[in-house]
Amino acid sequence: MSDLGFALQLMGIGMITVFLILSLVVLIGNLIIRFVNKYLPEEVSKKVQQVTIQATDFNRKKVVAIVSAVKIVTEGKGQVTKIEKL
């Protein structure tokens, strides 16, 4: 039975080690994402201007409404890059 106990102990240590390493990866990834979003934000205004320029088939008020709705729903994190008529 000592071999079985040693195997279970080794398996437990391995599983704990993998869990700790993956937790560190997730934590560090989240910290990097928050840092980048806080200190290196993406410029949205240029893309919005490009969308309004490309939207010659649409009414400009509709384009502004779509861009505003996306901005409100995504809390400023989303952006409209292309509008197509179906």
Q: In whole angstroms, how large is the CA radius of gyration of the chain? A: 25
Residue 70 near residue 80 (C-beta atoms within 8 A): yes
Residue 67 near residue 48 (C-beta atoms within 8 A): yes
pLDDT tens-place string over residues 40-82: 876 655 555 566 555 555 677 777 788 888 888 888 788 777 7
Domain boundary assignment for the chain: 1-41, 42-86
pLDDT at position 43, please?
64
Tokens 């700790």 map to which residue? 20
pLDDT at position 25, please?
98
pLDDT tens-place string over residues 14-27: 999 999 999 999 99
